[in-house]
């Protein structure tokens, strides 16, 4: 029986796009800068949601191996999980990551992703499709980890922050790898 693996939504979202993904380390300076940008984006997302009549329930609600950035409740009692990103553009990998919070968190009725400028509510059908991909990806990662680690699927949202030195696509990018801060 294969060992059950546990991945955070941030890593699993990237593994859904490329099972060979390995997270590149961030320097302490880059980590602090990222946290600052993230905090500013969170304040703007909170402000927009409060302006729309939502009540803030929780900030950085922790779960096993993850945290949900923001939880809101509207006047009808609907609970919204919001994944906040500091980048200017909301990417596919961010949508995948946000979708995972509805799978990880019972009681979440809807999922949105926000940055400093906008909020995007994810369609329930999209979240369901991601759930299907999660099941098949996890089965592959658990049943055949060696094959999963060498199945490289280049993706513009994943490659800039990947450190899998065995990946042939990593080598084609040249010697400098910039770690994405979004």
Q: For 121-161, what is each residue's pLDDT tens digit?
A: 999 999 999 988 998 999 999 998 899 999 998 899 988 88
HSE at residue 84, side-chain half, CA atoms within 13 A, is: 28
| pLDDT average, residue stretch 84-95 | 94
- In the chain the first and final C-alpha atoms are separated, in Å, by 37
* CA–CA dist 85, 177 (Å, integer): 21
Whose structure tokens read 């199945």? 151
Question: pTM of the full predicted structure?
Answer: 0.83
At 8, the pLDDT band (50, 70, 90 cuts) reads confident
Give residue-wise pLDDT tens across range 40-66. 999 999 999 999 999 999 999 887 778
Domain-by-domain residue ranges, the chain? 26-143
Return the pLDDT at 106: 76
Q: Output phi, psi for 161, to 5 deg.
A: -115, 20
Contact 130, 16 (CB under 8 A): yes
Residue 179 confidence class, pLDDT cut points 50, 70, 90: very low
| pLDDT tier for residue 101 given thresholds of 50, 70 and 90 | confident
Strand 79-84 relative to strand 66-73, pairing: antiparallel
Residue 26 is predicted with a pLDDT of: 87
**Token couple for 41:** 């984006």
Alpha carbons 143 and 130: distance in angstroms, whole number: 20
CATH of domain 26-143: 3.40.1350
Give me the mean pLDDT over the 7-27 stretch. Answer: 91
Q: How confident is the model at residue 169 (pLDDT cuts 50, 70, 90)?
A: confident
């Amino acid at each position: 029986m294969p060992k059950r693996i546990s991945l955070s939504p941030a890593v699993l979202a990237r593994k859904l796009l490329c099972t060979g993904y390995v997270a590149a380390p961030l320097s302490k300076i880059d980590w602090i800068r990222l946290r600052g940008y993230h905090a500013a984006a969170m304040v703007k997302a909170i402000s927009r949601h409060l302006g729309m009549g939502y009540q803030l329930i929780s900030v950085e609600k922790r779960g096993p191996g993850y945290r949900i950035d923001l939880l809101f409740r509207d006047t009808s009692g609907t609970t919204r999980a919001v994944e906040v990103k500091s980048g200017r553009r909301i990417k596919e990998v961010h949508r995948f990551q946000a979708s995972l919070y509805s799978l990880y968190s019972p009681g979440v009725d809807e999922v949105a992703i926000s940055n400093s400028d906008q909020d995007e509510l994810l369609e329930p059908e999209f979240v369901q499709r991601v759930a299907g991909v999660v099941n098949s990806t996890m089965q592959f990662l658990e049943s055949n980890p060696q094959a999963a680690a060498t199945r490289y699927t280049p993706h513009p949202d994943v490659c800039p922050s990947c450190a899998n030195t065995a990946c042939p696509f990593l080598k084609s990018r040249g010697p400098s790898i910039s770690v994405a801060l979004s």
